[in-house]
Structure 1
Amino acid sequence: MNWDFSEILTSFLKDKKGKLLSEGNFGFERESQRIISSGDLALTPHPPVFGDKLENQRITTDFSESHIEMITPTFKTIEEAYEELNTICTEVENGIGDELLWPLSMPPKLPDENNIPIASFPDSEEGIYKEIYRKGLALRYGKKMQMISGIHYNFSFDKEMVDYLYDLLGNGKDKRSFINEIHFALTRNFLRYRWMLIYLFGASPFCHPTYYSVIDKEIKIIQKSCSSCVESIKNFNQYATSLRVSRFGYSNILKHNQNIYFNSLDEYSKKIRKLMTTRNDDYSKLGLYKNNSQIQLNGNILQNESEFYSSIRLKQNIGKDETQLDALEKRGVQYVEVRILDLNPFEKLGLSLEQMYFIQVFMLFCLFEQSNPITEEEYDRINLNHHLITLFGRKENLLLQKYNGRAIALKQWGEEIFVKLKMIADLMSNATGDDKYRNSVENEHKKLFDISFLPSERIHREMENNKEDFLEFGTRCAVNNLNIN
């Protein structure tokens, strides 16, 4: 889409539509492991006080029986969604008794792989399907990788804002097609600039030794393709920002050449459906049944569309007997789901309101910035920047790859982006009479030049200063968060 950032902002200012930038629909999903006071994974069943996992829309499980998932409905303001997440989190804390919510994205002390309990569901068609799908994930990737947690942020633009953009830039095209186009354009820019969010909010620089087997396996894979890379990667603890979204975390970005560029709904749909119907030799050899029990849904590259990992997803509310992909194809994009956020152990809910104000500004930047289709060459640079930031983001003078092919210092590129972020935040704050957007951008800007403000660096320094290991630090934060009203 041929959009000009300055012209769009000028139009919002001239037409006095700046307030629309702060409006929309907002919701959160938070995953956390239940632990006992020692920091070990709780092996107790999902507390019965929360009822049927398939029926409770607020509190359910993710991969494991110990893997609590808290889900808010959508609200008209970030503050309302945040307060509802707080209410649900408090309900969970009260319902798990003497157990605690692990406050970090990388898992706590894990038992042997065989003893990690996959979530069980009622003996219904839906429940059986969910269990088999999880068994397939365990078979393909190992259970430990599935124990990673995070925050998902769901939001859609206000209808009045979409209508305004359509009147301004629609050029008479079909409105549903226009809405799809702006969401895919936003998503491509999110992929291009997500390294910024990983740098600013990455909060998983360490993991427990019980997770090392996953890392060792990945290092062996790296060694086969780039033996000279191994030594620097082995020192990831020194500079990492987010193991969760690194190649040591839950990501199949590099597997099976899954180059999905989000250039259009048609391209996206065709590629996902091909991955779901293409046989994978390795997965097929694992078999579908063991001891008369089904252990994966199929032997294809993806068991279903949920297995495709992406740092952002485009979504539509689904109807009865409908998949997410069906819904997108029939009715187009309704909202986006940001999936790249680590749990921040210094925040009771795993994230702060100020962080969400910044992300709202960031998403508008992604929408307004020029967004050409992604090529294979650019896609490789996008992923390179992603992995550089996850494992070396705190390294002084880190160089990234700009999408014109030249190297650029993280700080320099960050400065260029923050110029535009500040323009958006100023417009939003002036239009609403509230400095929260301007202040959030100014506070995040400080992290470019002082890494002591980064959550990943704060974790590193606290563990070092307190002479704590990963388990001691996480357990202390869990107790501290429990005591916050």
Structure 2
Amino acid sequence: MRASSMSQPNPTSQSVVQTWVDSSHLQGMLRGIERESLRMQGNGFLSQKPHPAGLGSALTHSRITTDYSEALMEFITPPKETITEVLAELTEIHAVVQRHLDQDEKLWPLSMPCMLDDEEEQIPLAYYGTSNIGRFKTLYRRGLGVRYGRRMQTISGVHYNLSFPDALFELLQQHESDDTLKQLSLQDYRSHRYFGLIRNFIRLTPLVIFLVGASPSVCRCFLTGREHNLQPLIKGTMYLPDATALRMGRLGYQNSAQKKLGIHYNDLHGYLEGLQNAVKTSYAPFSDLGLNDEQGQPIQINDHILQIENEYYSLVRPKQVPQPGETPSDALKNRGVGYVELRAVDVNPYSPIGIDETTAGFLEALALYCLLTESPALETDEQDRIERNQTEVVNRGRAVDAQIETAQGFISVQEWAKQHVLAMQECANLLDQYYQTTLYQDALDEMQQRIDQSKSALSAQVVQDTLKHGGTWSFGSVLAEQHAQTYTQYPLSAEKLAYFKQLAQQSLQQQYQLEQESSVSFEDYLAQFR
């Protein structure tokens, strides 16, 4: 099939894994996880308490921080060599956090939030202290609230970070038939291949949503003041009968301004250029909101399409670890893509840590498949088609007549998913060979089962259990209680506890130093940035 007519990575074409690739080329592959979870009170409402003091500073702690709301915790693992190690690390972080939560507080297990007050002011913004950088981070979140409403800031997800070793990129480059690609520096070639992975992941996002989506319903309180097409499932809970991941649809993170950006993923240069334009371009609806309130206090960083780069909400991001003083874009420009962040993943409510090895194995096999499969440029018409596919799978992915639109016509979601999971087998085998496990093949077997029997999909289970327990809040509370028991029973060694205590103390020290060093007033600091 010619590249120009290819819409999806073509699952029926020849083998994805070339004969010259063997499992040893995966040595040095790394993965890390970021997991978000709301702190909730015993009565199910969002916690109004500050970030637990015993956990240190949310501004400077490397493992435990907050995201948008003060109540939205974020747990970050360092990169690890195996799935087993990364999940163990994430479990440890949860166990440590549990020991510092208030008596009546628990971690909410679902992507969509627990009971929210009618008043958005009851959703507290994350607070990072009095340093300029800390105040800047809080102002950014205040701006998000003004622009999109604070309810958006209570949605949780899982981000899966993945990097492949340079040995694999060197091998792929040696076998390129295009001389231009052969001439690239390793850094540029690596970025080129990661962008190919990103484009294919975008094409296959409906597959991720279909297989690991777990937000088919929402608490009615989340919909206050919003137009929607959801139906009542049971008292206090709204849903769509065949939905998979409402978090990934219109009710999730959406930014109408971003639609017009035309940020594309065809190469690093174009991507960075699009991002820079957005960070520098005013947008009338945001200008109308004003920069400051009546008291002269700033309410958003600026009136641009994006206040800062991180506001660009995407399904997958090219990433590079920034050095001190670098923006994410600078890091990418200076050192190329170092890893990818897969962001289309719902929290798995049945796992105490929000993700299990089945999802992890599936995502890694999928990422390798996306890397090794041909990946033509992503043009506007295909992008529009992908968005229609995503909407279809979000709202009615489990319906028997749900369809995926390709350049060649329509195909049933089940058939399309089956073709890709089958084509991913070779990648799973390669990973299993390298890690001497059956984890990856087992993960694909489980996904195949979810395709064959839609009742076994996570989203179907969530609907069933919400009904069984009498509503979202009751269902979430039962799981939150079970997970809390798991964390409490998890054995933490004295060394481990001492290590986390030290991290907390160091982070508080770092925050204190930042607060002492602020020689410029915040007004001047902000004026400089603006």
Q: Same fold (TM over 0.5)?
A: yes
TM superposition shift of 1:76: 1.6
Deviations 1:40-79 (A, max 9, x none): 1111111111112222111111111111111111112222
* Residue in structure 1 matched with residue 481 of structure 2 by the alignment: 479
Equivalent of 1:173, from 184, 187, 191? 184
Equivalent of 2:416, from 413, 417, 441? 413
Q: Distance in 1 between matches of 2:315 and 2:321?
A: 19
- Number of aligned residues: 468
- Whichever residue aligns with residue 380 of structure 2, its letter is E
Q: Distance in 1 between matches of 2:230 and 2:438?
A: 46
Deviations 1:138-184 (A, max 9, x none): 00000001110111111100232222222233523322221111000
Unaligned ranges ≥5, structure 2: 4-8, 491-530
CA RMSD of aligned residues (A): 2.2
Q: Distance in 2 between matches of 1:127 and 1:355?
A: 34
- TM-score normalised by length of structure 1: 0.92
* Residue in structure 2 matched with residue 224 of structure 1 by the alignment: none
> Is 1:58 paired with 2:66?
no
> Is 1:296 paired with 2:300?
yes
> Is 1:67 paired with 2:72?
yes
Work out whether residues 21 and 364 of structure 1, in 8 Å CA contact, stay in contact via their aligned partners in 2.
no
* Residue in structure 2 matched with residue 240 of structure 1 by the alignment: 243
Work out whether residues 22 and 360 of structure 1, in 8 Å CA contact, stay in contact via their aligned partners in 2.
no
Work out whether residues 64 and 119 of structure 1, in 8 Å CA contact, stay in contact via their aligned partners in 2.
yes
Q: Distance in 1 between matches of 2:291 and 2:53?
A: 31
TM superposition shift of 1:443: 1.3
* Residue in structure 1 matched with residue 17 of structure 2 by the alignment: 9
Equivalent of 1:109, from 99, 104, 115? 115
> Is 1:362 paired with 2:366?
yes
Work out whether residues 258 and 312 of structure 2, in 8 Å CA contact, stay in contact via their aligned partners in 1.
no
* Residue in structure 1 matched with residue 155 of structure 2 by the alignment: 148
* Residue in structure 1 matched with residue 498 of structure 2 by the alignment: none
Describe the shift of the 1:233–1:304 C-alpha distance in structure 2 as closer, same or farther (beyond 3 A).
farther
Q: Distance in 1 between matches of 2:359 and 2:463?
A: 20
> What aligned pairs does 1:97-136 form with structure 2 within 5 A after superposition?
97-98=102-103, 99-111=105-117, 112-136=119-143
TM superposition shift of 1:373: 0.3
Describe the shift of the 1:19–1:445 C-alpha distance in structure 2 as closer, same or farther (beyond 3 A).
farther
Equivalent of 2:101, from 96, 99, 103? 96
Deviations 1:101-149 (A, max 9, x none): 0000101101221221101111112111101101100000000011101
- Whichever residue aligns with residue 184 of structure 1, its letter is F
Equivalent of 2:315, from 311, 314, 317? 311
- Whichever residue aligns with residue 456 of structure 1, its letter is S
Q: Distance in 2 between matches of 1:270 and 1:96?
A: 43
Equivalent of 2:266, from 260, 263, 278? 263
- SS at structure 1 position matched to 2:263: coil
- SS at structure 2 position matched to 1:401: strand
Work out whether residues 257 and 305 of structure 2, in 8 Å CA contact, stay in contact via their aligned partners in 1.
no
TM superposition shift of 1:215: 3.9
Describe the shift of the 1:294–1:254 C-alpha distance in structure 2 as closer, same or farther (beyond 3 A).
closer
Describe the shift of the 1:292–1:253 C-alpha distance in structure 2 as closer, same or farther (beyond 3 A).
closer
Q: Distance in 2 between matches of 1:52 and 1:81?
A: 23
* Residue in structure 2 matched with residue 202 of structure 1 by the alignment: 213
- SS at structure 2 position matched to 1:74: coil
TM superposition shift of 1:426: 2.5
Q: Distance in 1 between matches of 2:310 and 2:360?
A: 25
Q: Distance in 2 between matches of 1:395 and 1:8?
A: 30
* Residue in structure 2 matched with residue 422 of structure 1 by the alignment: 425
Describe the shift of the 1:420–1:180 C-alpha distance in structure 2 as closer, same or farther (beyond 3 A).
same
Equivalent of 1:377, from 378, 381, 406? 381
> Is 1:436 paired with 2:447?
no
- SS at structure 2 position matched to 1:49: helix
* Residue in structure 1 matched with residue 39 of structure 2 by the alignment: 34
Unaligned ranges ≥5, structure 1: 220-229
Equivalent of 1:330, from 328, 334, 346? 334
Q: Distance in 2 between matches of 1:458 and 1:420?
A: 27
Describe the shift of the 1:179–1:400 C-alpha distance in structure 2 as closer, same or farther (beyond 3 A).
same
* Residue in structure 1 matched with residue 277 of structure 2 by the alignment: 274
* Residue in structure 2 matched with residue 76 of structure 1 by the alignment: 81
- SS at structure 1 position matched to 2:240: helix
TM superposition shift of 1:465: 2.9
Describe the shift of the 1:23–1:214 C-alpha distance in structure 2 as closer, same or farther (beyond 3 A).
farther
Describe the shift of the 1:236–1:381 C-alpha distance in structure 2 as closer, same or farther (beyond 3 A).
farther
* Residue in structure 1 matched with residue 506 of structure 2 by the alignment: none
Describe the shift of the 1:241–1:7 C-alpha distance in structure 2 as closer, same or farther (beyond 3 A).
closer
Describe the shift of the 1:57–1:429 C-alpha distance in structure 2 as closer, same or farther (beyond 3 A).
closer
Work out whether residues 16 and 423 of structure 2, in 8 Å CA contact, stay in contact via their aligned partners in 1.
no
- SS at structure 2 position matched to 1:340: strand
- SS at structure 1 position matched to 2:182: coil
* Residue in structure 1 matched with residue 524 of structure 2 by the alignment: none
TM superposition shift of 1:263: 0.5
Describe the shift of the 1:119–1:431 C-alpha distance in structure 2 as closer, same or farther (beyond 3 A).
closer
Q: Distance in 1 between matches of 2:392 and 2:232?
A: 10
Q: Distance in 1 between matches of 2:298 and 2:256?
A: 26
Equivalent of 1:46, from 51, 75, 84? 51
Identity %: 31
- Whichever residue aligns with residue 129 of structure 1, its letter is F
- Whichever residue aligns with residue 70 of structure 2, its letter is E
- TM-score normalised by length of structure 2: 0.84
Describe the shift of the 1:431–1:81 C-alpha distance in structure 2 as closer, same or farther (beyond 3 A).
closer
